[in-house]
Each structure stands twice: as structure tokens, then as C-alpha cells.
């Protein structure tokens, strides 16, 4: 709403924040709009961007080499600097960093790493009925046979993630994650769909909070017992 009608979104780096956090010794991806970018320079190493005119390559993803520090995005003239992005490589010796990918406000895939404590839980749903356990031939019932029996049992798993300390420039990334309709997590060598379970969040600033760590709850977008139809 506050961008008013027919906003022309930025036509170069397809992310709002000017900061990227990556797990140490891990490469990343930078989404760019090929029509508006001539080259991307990562630590003084240039990558030329070509636009064939086809719609299926308008959004491209430039590889960010592991342990990079700075990205500069240039206009099609290769000289006009459009955006500078700082890359922070985070060493996390205790926890296993987890990568969440979402479709941001520009329609591009964007990664957000959660470096600190993660906690998994699940909620079970079921129904019950009372059954007849009497054996007619002997007019007895076994004590090991329960009168109540479960059916339609299933479960939905959730995961709570913590970003670790990030600067307030990343607030826009957190907002877009909350508003995204398509989110995935990379876990145990699999890419799994998740849904933000948290419905409210207080954005943190350096003035009020100095260091910001966001704790966000997600729900896996599928049932534990497979009932795909």
C-alpha cells in the first residue's frame, strides 16, 4: 500500500536488504534481473550478465563463492554501480545451520540462514471409537483387547529456528519471509515445504535492542503419515 499504484520494482539485484548471511565455507545465490544488470562483481571478480530476451532467463542466480565479502551490482553499461551487498560468513561451531528458501517480493528465490538453536516438535490428531471385544463363542473378552481404538491417526511436525545475531538491515528479509506463500527448508539432504507458523513478530533495531536474534516457528506443510492423494 505505501508503495502506491504501479510501483516499478528495482530492476537489478532482486532482494531488498543490503546484507547477506552465509554459513562459513558455503556458497550462496544472488537473484538478479538480467535485463537491468551488465555485470556482478564479487570481491573484484566480474561475472558478465547476458539477456537473451526470453522470459525464462530474466531472473538469474549468480553464484556467491564461499567466504566472499562484498558484491557489487552494475548497470548494463558495466560502470554505473546500482547496489552494494555485504556478505557475512558466519562460523557456528555448536549448532547445525539450516537454510530456509522463500519467494520474496520480487518473485525470486531468496535464502535465509538460521544459525542457532533449532527445536522440533509435533502435534498428533486422532479419532476414537468404542468396540465390542466379547467373543461370542465363549462369552468372554481378552484383557489385552482395549475397548477404545484409534483411527485416522496422523501428526504434523513443527520446527522452531533462531537466526542468531543479525543487523536491522535484515528486517526487510524477515518481513518478506513472513509474507511469502512459498517457503522451503533444507534439512537432512532434502528440500521440504514449510509454512511460517508465527503470525506476529516485533522487528528489532540497533537503538532499541542493539543485537537482534529472531526466533521463528514453522510448520511442515505435510502430514507425518503419508496421505497424499
134, with CB counted inside 10 A (0-12, 13-18, 19+), is: exposed
Angle made by CA atoms 227, 146, 138, in degrees to the nearest 5: 125
pLDDT in the model for residue 172: 94
pTM of the model: 0.90
Q: How far apart are CA 45 and CA 98, in angstroms?
A: 28
Question: 159 forms bridges with which residues in the sheet?
Answer: 120, 218
Polymer length of the chain: 229
pLDDT in the model for residue 2: 84
191, with CB counted inside 10 A (0-12, 13-18, 19+), is: exposed
Q: What is the full per-residue pLDDT of the chain (229 aa) written as tens digits?
A: 888 888 888 899 999 999 999 999 999 999 999 999 999 999 999 999 999 999 999 999 999 999 999 999 999 999 999 999 999 999 999 999 999 999 999 999 999 999 999 999 999 999 999 989 899 889 999 888 888 999 999 999 999 999 999 999 999 999 999 999 999 999 999 999 999 999 898 998 888 888 889 999 999 999 999 988 7
pLDDT in the model for residue 194: 98
What pairing do the DSSP bridges indicate for beta strands 81-90 and 19-23?
Answer: parallel
Amino acid at each position: 500500500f505505501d508503495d502506491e499504484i504501479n510501483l516499478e520494482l528495482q530492476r537489478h539485484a532482486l532482494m531488498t536488504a543490503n546484507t547477506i548471511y552465509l554459513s562459513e565455507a558455503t556458497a550462496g545465490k544472488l537473484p538478479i534481473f538480467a535485463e537491468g544488470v551488465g555485470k556482478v562483481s564479487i570481491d573484484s571478480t566480474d561475472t558478465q550478465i547476458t539477456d537473451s530476451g526470453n522470459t525464462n532467463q530474466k531472473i538469474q542466480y549468480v553464484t556467491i563463492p564461499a567466504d566472499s565479502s562484498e558484491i557489487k551490482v552494475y548497470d548494463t553499461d558495466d560502470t554505473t554501480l546500482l547496489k552494494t551487498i555485504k556478505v557475512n560468513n558466519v562460523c557456528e561451531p555448536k549448532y547445525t545451520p539450516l537454510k530456509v528458501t522463500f519467494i520474496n517480493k520480487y518473485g525470486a528465490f531468496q535464502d535465509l540462514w538460521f544459525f542457532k538453536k533449532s527445536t522440533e516438535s509435533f502435534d498428533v490428531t486422532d479419532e476414537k471409537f468404542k468396540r465390542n471385544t466379547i467373543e461370542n463363542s465363549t462369552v468372554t473378552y481378552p484383557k489385552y483387547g482395549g475397548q477404545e481404538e484409534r483411527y485416522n491417526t496422523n501428526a504434523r511436525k513443527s520446527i522452531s529456528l533462531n537466526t542468531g545475531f543479525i543487523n536491522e538491515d535484515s528486517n526487510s528479509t524477515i518481513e518478506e519471509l513472513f509474507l511469502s506463500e512459498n517457503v522451503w527448508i533444507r534439512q537432512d539432504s532434502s528440500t521440504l515445504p514449510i509454512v511460517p507458523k508465527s503470525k506476529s513478530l516485533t522487528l528489532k533495531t540497533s537503538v532499541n535492542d542493539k543485537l537482534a536474534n529472531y526466533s521463528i516457528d514453522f510448520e511442515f506443510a505435510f502430514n507425518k503419515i503419508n496421505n497424499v492423494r
